[in-house]
Amino acid sequence: DAKTTQPPSMDCAEGRAANLPCNHSTISGNEYVYWYRQIHSQGPQYIIHGLKNNETNEMASLIITEDRKSSTLILPHATLRDTAVYYCIVIDKYIFGTGTRLKVLA
Amino acid sequence: NAGVMQNPRHLVRRRGQEARLRCSPMKGHSHVYWYRQLPEEGLKFMVYLQKENIIDESGMPKERFSAEFPKEGPSILRIQQVVRGDSAAYFCASSRGTGANHEQFFGPGTRLTVL
């Protein structure tokens, strides 16, 4: 079973920040949080990952709470091409849940 | 630097035939993973292999499915005597190392249709 809980769907206006939450209350100390997205039926695309510190790259930012029980993926300026299913995964094993279907609206 | 390659991209088989799906990992990656995705569902882990070794096959069905990653050549996912329920997208991923700090890179998938 997936170790994460995500809302099934979200809408975001184009140009605005998209904040995608993920709960992982059973995460253990050495488990990383990974985010991937799947656009239409393509292969999943790696976005970002982190352990306990907040992370930022050219695609997104990852905010992890101090107790590590939840995290938020932030797409700072969402575009129509960011419409996808976003998966939050806690590794030790890659178990994908059903993710959040993000729809960016023009 | 080519990404993960999978072929064929689309495969049609009749019930009872065999399906062979191929995956070439990214250059420098020696860890390969196979996933299955049914329509409108998330990805389900099937098997994790390193060169010539199966490390974790906990997600593989007990019958008809097998996987290999030989010393030379691509990784192969083999499905014998396919049934309609095997129709799905099969994704392969590769990573440079193992453990929690190595992201997986996914291929474009093979869409298997069983008639």
Residues from chain B contacting residue A87 (CB–CB below 8 Å): 42-43
Compare CB distances from A94 to B45, B109, B111 and report the shortest one's residue.
B45
Does the pLDDT value for residue B43 go beyond 90?
Answer: no
Question: How far is the alpha carbon of B14 from chain A, nearest alpha carbon, in Å?
Answer: 23
Residues A12-18 have a mean pLDDT of 96
> Is B106's CB within 8 Å of A93's CB?
no
Predicted pLDDT at A92: 62
Residues B13-37 have a mean pLDDT of 95
Predicted pLDDT at A2: 56
Predicted pLDDT at A83: 97
> Is B45's CB within 8 Å of A49's CB?
no
Predicted pLDDT at B39: 84
Q: B44 — contact with chain A (CB < 8 Å)? A: yes
Q: A42 — contact with chain B (CB < 8 Å)? A: yes
Terminal-to-terminal C-alpha distance of chain B: 37
Predicted pLDDT at A26: 86
At residue B99 the predicted structure's pLDDT band, cuts being 50, 70 and 90, is low
Residues B65-78 have a mean pLDDT of 95
Compare CB distances from B106 to A44, A93, A99 and report the shortest one's residue.
A44
Of A30-34, A45-49, A63-67, B104-108, the one with minimum mean pLDDT is A30-34
Residues from chain A contacting residue B89 (CB–CB below 8 Å): 41
Alpha-carbon distance A35 to B68, whole Å? 28
Residues from chain A contacting residue B42 (CB–CB below 8 Å): 2, 87, 96-99
At residue B40 the predicted structure's pLDDT band, cuts being 50, 70 and 90, is confident
Residues A50-72 have a mean pLDDT of 94
At residue A93 the predicted structure's pLDDT band, cuts being 50, 70 and 90, is low
> Is A94's CB within 8 Å of B108's CB?
no
The two beta strands, A9-13 and A55-56, are: unpaired
Does the pLDDT value for residue B1 go beyond 70?
Answer: no
At residue A1 the predicted structure's pLDDT band, cuts being 50, 70 and 90, is low
For chain B, what percent of residues have pLDDT higher than 90?
Answer: 77
> Is A42's CB within 8 Å of B108's CB?
yes
Predicted pLDDT at A94: 72
Q: Of A47, A60, A55, A49, nearest to A90 (Cα)?
A: A49
Alpha-carbon distance B9 to A84, whole Å? 21
Write the Ramachandran bin of B73: left for phi over 0, alpha for psi from -120 to 50, otherwise beta: left
Residues from chain A contacting residue B107 (CB–CB below 8 Å): 43
Summary mean pLDDT of chain A: 91
Which among A24, A35, A96, A101 is the top mutation candidate for probing chain B, defined by the most B β-carbons within 10 Å of its own β-carbon? A96
Terminal-to-terminal C-alpha distance of chain A: 35
Alpha-carbon distance B58 to B45, whole Å? 8
CB contact at 8 A, A72 and A63 = yes
Predicted pLDDT at A31: 85
Alpha-carbon distance B71 to B57, whole Å? 19
